[in-house]
Amino acid sequence: MLKQSTYIFLIFSLLGSITSCDDYQKVVKSPNPEYKYKRAVEYYENEEYYKANPLFEELIPLYKGTDKGQKIYYYWCYTNYYEDYLMNAAFHFKKFAKTFPNSEYAEDALFMSAYCNFLQSPNPNLDQTPTRMAIDEMQLFVNTYPNSPLVDSANTLVDRLALKLEAKDFLNSKQYYTIKRYKAAVVALNNFMQQYPASEYEEEAKMLIIKSYYELAINSVNEKKEERFDKGIEAYYDFIDNFADSKKINEAEAIYAKLVKAREEFLLSKNDSNEL
């Protein structure tokens, strides 16, 4: 009995789907633009954006220069957004705001253009050109509509985008350590901390500086060893002064011990050489 009920349900579901498809095709083939507009709005309000999108796109040139044409274009921008055509949506939302600056929808359109760019911002390990573009677009919105209720949201999104740029800059600095360019790592990591004071990556950056100085020192020519050992030890004290409760404290102490031991051995061998 259960199997029969399921079978009947599937049949009716299939018939409903076919009927719906036939109905949509009638709308698509209709020569009446007013009818298409009415049905496109219905699809939009029912969140059937994939159906509304091509209908609105077809109607845009037919109503160009009219109040309804403006609304159709606005609807179409949103169907692109809801269908995840973010690049297209960002472009056309901005075009809408430029084309209709006095429209009641212009403010929202400019914000949505920036928001679509925000959604396209990639992970920090990737190129951050889209992130910078999104920040510029959000700033454009804030400058254009400084009294908008959306300004707080825009500023919050800018802060989130800025954190991605910070993460990217840290990864770029850290990369020098990864590829064993320790001198460049020290410079890059110090520059990073100057650019981003109180960064969430400061602890790791300071740890990498200790490690970099150790690697630099043990691989240096004799004339530079002592100075680099000393700088590594200074970097250790800087680390514990700022992160006394760090989970990395044992690691820092281990490197410090290696720095001190290697420094003592170097100075001892240097003295022995001088005596000879």
Sorted by where each begins, the domain ranges of the chain are: 15-83, 87-169, 180-276
Indicate whether 8 pLDDT > 50.
no
> Torsion angle of alpha carbons 62, 67, 72, 78, nearest 10°?
150
d(CA 263, CA 225): 8
Indicate whether 108 pLDDT > 80.
yes
Indicate whether 160 pLDDT > 70.
yes
Pick from 5-14, 140-149, 185-194, 252-261: least confident: 5-14
Cα 1 from chain centroid? 54
Summarize the confidence of residues 43-52 as an average pLDDT. Answer: 98
Pick from 2-6, 151-155, 268-272: least confident: 2-6
Using CB atoms within 10 Å of the CB of residue 34, give its burial: 0 to 12 exposed, 13 to 18 middle, 19+ buried: exposed
pTM of the model: 0.85
pLDDT of residue 270: 75
**In terms of Cα–Cα distance, which of 100, 94, 33 is closest to 71?**
100
Summarize the confidence of residues 225-237 as an average pLDDT. Answer: 97
pLDDT of residue 21: 72
Kindly indicate the confidence band of residue 269, based on its pLDDT and cuts at 50, 70 and 90: confident
| Six-digit token string for 216 | 């630099």
pLDDT digits (tens, 9 = 90+) for 242-257: 999 999 999 999 999 9
Distances (CA, A) of 196 to 127, 155, 184, 208, 211: 19, 19, 18, 16, 21
Residue 93 · residue 113 · CB < 8 Å: yes
Indicate whether 264 pLDDT > 70.
yes
DSSP state for residue 81 in the 8-state scheme? H
d(CA 143, CA 184): 39
Fold of 180-276: 1.25.40
pLDDT digits (tens, 9 = 90+) for 165-185: 999 999 999 999 999 999 999
DSSP state for residue 63 in the 8-state scheme? G
pLDDT of residue 14: 46
Kindly indicate the confidence band of residue 10, based on its pLDDT and cuts at 50, 70 and 90: very low
Indicate whether 15 pLDDT > 90.
no
Average pLDDT, the chain: 93
Summarize the confidence of residues 230-243 as an average pLDDT. Answer: 98
What sign results for the dihedral spanned by CA atoms 151, 152, 157, 163? Answer: positive
